[in-house]
Structure 1
Amino acid sequence: MPDPSPFAVPTRFDGASGRVALVVPGVGYSPARPLLHFARGVLLQHGWTVQELWWQIPDGFSRFTVDDRVAWVEQQVSQAVDAEAGACRLIVGKSLGSLASGIAADRNIAAAWLTPVLTTDHVARALRRAEAPTLLVGGSADKLWDSRTAESLRHDVLEVPSADHSLELADDAVGSVDILRQVISRLDDFIGSLDH
């Protein structure tokens, strides 16, 4: 495997000490982008502590094999989960972050995967064995989303018609904001269900 450094830089927002949500970004989709920014807001409203990871993508990452990408993401997410000493009870991940779906499945951690890479066998297999509450959100125009795989899983699924990998509509800013509202509302419901 290529050198795993540099590592993700965490940013923390304190809420309940026993309920930590880890926010895991995509390659070019940082926690400051709309989906993850508002996900953090919802988590804080529900009283969660939020630990955001900010990737430091290694040089040559685009040439990594799928297995190397999985190993790199899993190493960083595992370190972040381990640092919480059992308090990490939710992972909210965008795209590349979904390569950590095996960690969520193996450790029985609830997860909300925004645009998970369902075309990658590793992710699909991990989601099949995941037993903790899981939300999958994707767009029908996203080439990394697979409607049939999503439908075959026993998880909560929101598929947004015509949305791309950023869960936006091409040339329709207002429509994209409507999608953002729909996704965050569904995420709010999902996070609320974990409180019961």
Structure 2
Amino acid sequence: MPDPSPFAMPTRFDGAPDRVAVVVPGVGYSPARPLLHFARGVLLQHGWTVQELWWQIPDDFSQFTVDGRIAWVERQVTQAIDAEAGACRLLVGKSLGSLACGIAAERNIAAAWLTPVLTIDHVARALQRAQAPTLLIGGSADKLWDSRIAESLRHDVLEVPSADHALELADDATGSVDVLRQVVSRLDRFIGSLGH
């Protein structure tokens, strides 16, 4: 993966070579944003190698059909997984990144999906097929999260009351930090459960 800027900030953080986690961003939610930044920290504490996927969304992406968006995301994620030559054992994705949950299901890769787009049928069906350990985290105030669908799945689910699509609370910065702590703690428990 090319570095995202001329400042050559790292996109890969080495840990165990046989346990690689690929971090998949959202549309405007890069791996540097809090949820994914701290997910990387948790992964590194547990000894994982972390490969962050930094992507440039096409200018006309808003005009893509849902199937076109899914295909675009799947291409990016498949390339990142294949580059790891079988060592990718976990996907951590935010929002748009969850459009790759079909890849995780097909390849039996564990996944932690932060604010997955449960309102897209492809995502819900892929999560129903997923056999590998899967964590879903969403907020009850997020229009792209569907509590009913999340509850119907046999996966580990954390629904944060009143949290929006960024897993933040409206007009409550301190409360939003508390939510971040709750999410990071749940990620820590989930990643720890995956073993070595």
TM value normalised by structure 2: 0.95
Q: Which residue of 2 aligns with 1:161?
A: 161
Q: Which residue of 2 aligns with 1:120?
A: 120
Q: Which residue of 2 aligns with 1:57?
A: 57
Q: Which residue of 2 aligns with 1:4?
A: none
Question: Alpha-carbon deviations, 1:22-49, whole Å to 9, x = none?
Answer: 0000000000000000000000000000
Which stretches of structure 1, 4 residues or longer, exceed 4 Å deviation after superposition?
7-10
Q: 1:8 Cα shift?
A: 9.0
Q: 1:55 Cα shift?
A: 1.4
Q: In 2 relative to 1, CA 165–105 (structure 1 residues): closer, same or farther, beyond 3 Å? A: same
> Is residue 25–residue 97 contact of structure 1 (8 Å, CA) maintained in 2?
yes
Distance in structure 2 (CA, Å) of the matches to 1:150 and 1:168: 19
The alignment's C-alpha RMSD in Å is: 1.3
Q: Which residue of 2 aligns with 1:73?
A: 73
> Is residue 96–residue 117 contact of structure 2 (8 Å, CA) maintained in 1?
yes
Give 1:155's aligned amino acid. H
Distance in structure 2 (CA, Å) of the matches to 1:147 and 1:55: 29
Q: Which residue of 2 aligns with 1:19?
A: 19
1:99 and 2:129 are equivalent in the alignment? no
SS at match of 1:54: coil
Gaps in structure 2 of 5+ consecutive residues: 5-9
Q: Which residue of 1 aligns with 2:7?
A: none
Q: Report how many residues are paired.
A: 190
Distance in structure 2 (CA, Å) of the matches to 1:82 and 1:181: 32
> Is residue 23–residue 52 contact of structure 1 (8 Å, CA) maintained in 2?
yes
Distance in structure 1 (CA, Å) of the matches to 2:114 and 2:177: 16
Distance in structure 1 (CA, Å) of the matches to 2:66 and 2:160: 26
> Is residue 24–residue 94 contact of structure 2 (8 Å, CA) maintained in 1?
yes
SS at match of 2:11: strand
Q: In 2 relative to 1, CA 180–84 (structure 1 residues): closer, same or farther, beyond 3 Å? A: same
